[in-house]
Protein backbone atom coordinates (compact mmCIF):
# COMPACT_ATOMS: atom_id res chain seq x y z
CA UNK A 1 0.00 0.00 0.00
CA UNK A 2 2.89 2.36 0.86
CA UNK A 3 4.45 1.64 -2.50
CA UNK A 4 1.25 2.61 -4.30
CA UNK A 5 1.10 5.97 -2.47
CA UNK A 6 4.75 6.64 -3.28
CA UNK A 7 4.13 5.92 -6.94
CA UNK A 8 1.12 8.24 -7.05
CA UNK A 9 3.04 10.93 -5.19
CA UNK A 10 5.99 10.65 -7.58
CA UNK A 11 3.75 10.83 -10.66
CA UNK A 12 1.89 13.81 -9.22
CA UNK A 13 5.17 15.61 -8.46
CA UNK A 14 6.47 14.97 -11.97
CA UNK A 15 3.25 16.31 -13.50
CA UNK A 16 3.37 19.46 -11.40
CA UNK A 17 6.99 20.20 -12.27
CA UNK A 18 6.46 19.48 -15.97
CA UNK A 19 3.61 22.01 -16.15
CA UNK A 20 5.50 24.69 -14.26
CA UNK A 21 7.08 27.28 -16.51
CA UNK A 22 10.81 27.74 -16.35
CA UNK A 23 11.88 31.03 -14.86
CA UNK A 24 15.07 32.99 -14.77
CA UNK A 25 15.94 34.52 -11.43
CA UNK A 26 18.59 37.17 -11.68
CA UNK A 27 20.52 39.56 -9.48
CA UNK A 28 22.04 42.69 -10.99
CA UNK A 29 25.16 44.21 -9.44
CA UNK A 30 27.60 46.99 -10.25
CA UNK A 31 30.66 45.56 -12.04
CA UNK A 32 33.04 47.91 -10.22
CA UNK A 33 31.73 48.15 -6.67
CA UNK A 34 29.76 44.91 -6.44
CA UNK A 35 26.73 46.72 -4.97
CA UNK A 36 23.29 45.65 -6.09
CA UNK A 37 21.59 47.94 -8.57
CA UNK A 38 18.06 48.97 -7.59
CA UNK A 39 15.17 48.46 -10.00
CA UNK A 40 16.89 46.90 -13.01
CA UNK A 41 14.92 45.91 -16.12
CA UNK A 42 14.92 42.56 -17.88
CA UNK A 43 13.27 42.28 -21.27
CA UNK A 44 13.03 40.23 -24.42
CA UNK A 45 13.43 42.87 -27.11
CA UNK A 46 10.79 42.72 -29.81
CA UNK A 47 8.67 40.23 -27.84
CA UNK A 48 6.86 42.72 -25.54
CA UNK A 49 7.87 40.83 -22.41
CA UNK A 50 9.62 42.83 -19.70
CA UNK A 51 9.90 42.97 -15.93
CA UNK A 52 11.35 45.35 -13.36
CA UNK A 53 13.51 44.25 -10.51
CA UNK A 54 13.18 45.17 -6.87
CA UNK A 55 15.21 47.49 -4.68
CA UNK A 56 17.77 44.71 -4.09
CA UNK A 57 18.42 44.18 -7.82
CA UNK A 58 16.52 40.88 -8.04
CA UNK A 59 14.23 40.07 -10.97
CA UNK A 60 12.21 37.06 -12.12
CA UNK A 61 11.23 36.53 -15.76
CA UNK A 62 9.94 33.58 -17.77
CA UNK A 63 12.51 31.61 -19.72
CA UNK A 64 12.15 31.51 -23.50
CA UNK A 65 14.66 29.37 -25.34
CA UNK A 66 16.58 31.21 -28.06
CA UNK A 67 15.32 34.70 -27.25
CA UNK A 68 17.99 37.28 -26.35
CA UNK A 69 17.46 38.65 -22.83
CA UNK A 70 18.45 42.28 -22.27
CA UNK A 71 19.32 43.49 -18.77
CA UNK A 72 19.48 47.26 -18.21
CA UNK A 73 19.42 49.90 -15.49
CA UNK A 74 19.53 53.68 -15.43
CA UNK A 75 23.13 54.91 -15.53
CA UNK A 76 24.55 51.55 -16.66
CA UNK A 77 25.39 49.92 -19.99
CA UNK A 78 22.87 47.29 -21.07
CA UNK A 79 23.91 43.66 -21.38
CA UNK A 80 22.39 41.06 -23.72
CA UNK A 81 22.35 37.35 -22.87
CA UNK A 82 21.65 34.54 -25.33
CA UNK A 83 20.59 31.82 -22.91
CA UNK A 84 20.78 28.13 -23.67
CA UNK A 85 18.43 25.44 -22.41
CA UNK A 86 20.65 24.59 -19.44
CA UNK A 87 21.15 28.23 -18.30
CA UNK A 88 17.74 29.16 -16.98
CA UNK A 89 18.10 28.89 -13.21
CA UNK A 90 20.06 31.70 -11.61
CA UNK A 91 21.71 34.58 -13.44
CA UNK A 92 24.29 36.90 -11.90
CA UNK A 93 24.53 40.06 -13.98
CA UNK A 94 27.29 42.64 -13.61
CA UNK A 95 26.65 45.95 -15.38
CA UNK A 96 29.29 48.57 -16.09
CA UNK A 97 28.54 52.22 -15.29
CA UNK A 98 27.70 54.33 -18.33
CA UNK A 99 29.61 57.54 -17.80
CA UNK A 100 28.32 60.17 -20.17
CA UNK A 101 29.43 63.72 -19.54
CA UNK A 102 28.00 66.91 -20.89
CA UNK A 103 30.41 69.08 -22.82
CA UNK A 104 28.97 72.42 -21.78
CA UNK A 105 26.02 73.79 -19.89
CA UNK A 106 24.93 77.34 -20.66
CA UNK A 107 22.80 79.22 -18.13
CA UNK A 108 21.26 82.50 -19.24
CA UNK A 109 20.04 84.91 -16.60
CA UNK A 110 18.46 87.54 -18.82
CA UNK A 111 14.93 86.75 -19.89
CA UNK A 112 13.95 87.32 -23.50
CA UNK A 113 11.62 90.28 -23.94
CA UNK A 114 8.03 89.29 -24.63
CA UNK A 115 6.60 90.50 -27.91
CA UNK A 116 2.96 90.43 -28.84
CA UNK A 117 3.58 89.81 -32.51
CA UNK A 118 1.70 86.88 -34.01
CA UNK A 119 -0.26 86.32 -30.80
CA UNK A 120 -3.86 85.49 -31.79
CA UNK A 121 -5.24 86.57 -28.40
CA UNK A 122 -3.84 90.08 -28.84
CA UNK A 123 -5.37 90.37 -32.30
CA UNK A 124 -8.73 89.19 -31.00
CA UNK A 125 -8.70 91.75 -28.16
CA UNK A 126 -7.88 94.53 -30.63
CA UNK A 127 -10.94 93.58 -32.68
CA UNK A 128 -13.13 93.42 -29.56
CA UNK A 129 -12.01 96.89 -28.45
CA UNK A 130 -12.59 98.27 -31.96
CA UNK A 131 -16.12 96.82 -32.03
CA UNK A 132 -16.96 98.01 -28.51
CA UNK A 133 -18.67 101.13 -29.80
CA UNK A 134 -20.92 99.06 -32.07
CA UNK A 135 -21.99 96.66 -29.29
CA UNK A 136 -22.61 99.26 -26.59
CA UNK A 137 -26.38 99.37 -26.03
CA UNK A 138 -26.36 102.99 -24.90
CA UNK A 139 -25.38 104.00 -28.47
CA UNK A 140 -28.59 102.43 -29.76
CA UNK A 141 -30.96 104.00 -27.25
CA UNK A 142 -29.69 107.59 -27.35
CA UNK A 143 -32.32 109.97 -28.66
CA UNK A 144 -35.21 107.69 -27.76
CA UNK A 145 -36.58 108.87 -24.41
CA UNK A 146 -38.51 105.67 -23.59
CA UNK A 147 -35.44 103.48 -24.25
CA UNK A 148 -33.24 105.75 -22.12
CA UNK A 149 -35.77 105.55 -19.28
CA UNK A 150 -35.84 101.73 -19.47
CA UNK A 151 -32.04 101.56 -19.44
CA UNK A 152 -31.87 103.70 -16.29
CA UNK A 153 -34.40 101.48 -14.51
CA UNK A 154 -32.53 98.25 -15.29
CA UNK A 155 -29.56 99.20 -13.03
CA UNK A 156 -27.47 96.13 -13.91
CA UNK A 157 -30.16 93.46 -13.40
CA UNK A 158 -29.02 90.82 -15.90
CA UNK A 159 -32.30 88.92 -16.13
CA UNK A 160 -34.26 92.05 -16.94
CA UNK A 161 -31.48 93.22 -19.21
CA UNK A 162 -31.68 90.06 -21.33
CA UNK A 163 -35.44 90.48 -21.72
CA UNK A 164 -35.38 94.21 -22.36
CA UNK A 165 -32.53 94.38 -24.87
CA UNK A 166 -34.48 92.80 -27.76
CA UNK A 167 -37.41 95.12 -27.02
CA UNK A 168 -35.13 98.16 -26.99
CA UNK A 169 -33.57 97.17 -30.28
CA UNK A 170 -37.03 96.76 -31.86
CA UNK A 171 -38.04 100.18 -30.57
CA UNK A 172 -34.82 101.63 -31.97
CA UNK A 173 -35.43 100.07 -35.39
CA UNK A 174 -39.02 101.28 -35.51
CA UNK A 175 -37.99 104.82 -34.51
CA UNK A 176 -35.37 104.89 -37.27
CA UNK A 177 -37.98 103.89 -39.88
CA UNK A 178 -40.37 106.73 -38.95
pLDDT given at position 18: 47
What total number of domains does the chain contain? 2
Give the separation between CA 31 and CA 44, rounded to whole angstroms: 22
Is 133 found in the same domain as 57?
A: no
Q: Which domain holds residue 126?
A: 120-177
Total Cβ atoms within 10 A of residue 34: 8
Q: Is residue 62 part of a domain?
A: yes
Task: Write 73-81 long-range contacts (CB < 8 A, 24+).
Answer: 73/28, 73/37, 73/38, 73/39, 73/40, 73/41, 74/39, 76/30, 76/37
CA distance 150 to 165: 10
pLDDT score, position 162: 62
| Confidence at residue 164, expressed as pLDDT on a 0 to 100 scale | 67
The verdict on 68 and 142 lying in the same domain is no
List, as own/partner pairs, every contact residues 127-132 make where C-beta atoms lie below 8 angstroms and the sequence separation is at least 24, other chains included. Answer: none
pLDDT at 70 over 90: yes
Distance CA 165, CA 149 (A): 13
Same domain flag for 76 and 140: no
In this model, does residue 95 exceed pLDDT 90? yes
The torsion angle over the Cα atoms of residues 60, 61, 62 and 65, rounded to 10 degrees, is -120
Write down which residue in 79, 95, 111 finishes a domain.
Answer: 95
Residue 114 belongs to some domain of the structure: no
Is the pLDDT higher at 26 or at 163? 26
More confident: 21 or 111:
111
Amino acid sequence: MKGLYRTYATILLLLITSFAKAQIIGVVTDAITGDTISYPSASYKGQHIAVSGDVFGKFVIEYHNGWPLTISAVGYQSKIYNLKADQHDLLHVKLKPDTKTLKEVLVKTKKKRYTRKENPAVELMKRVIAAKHKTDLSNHVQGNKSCELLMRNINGDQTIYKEIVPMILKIRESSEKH
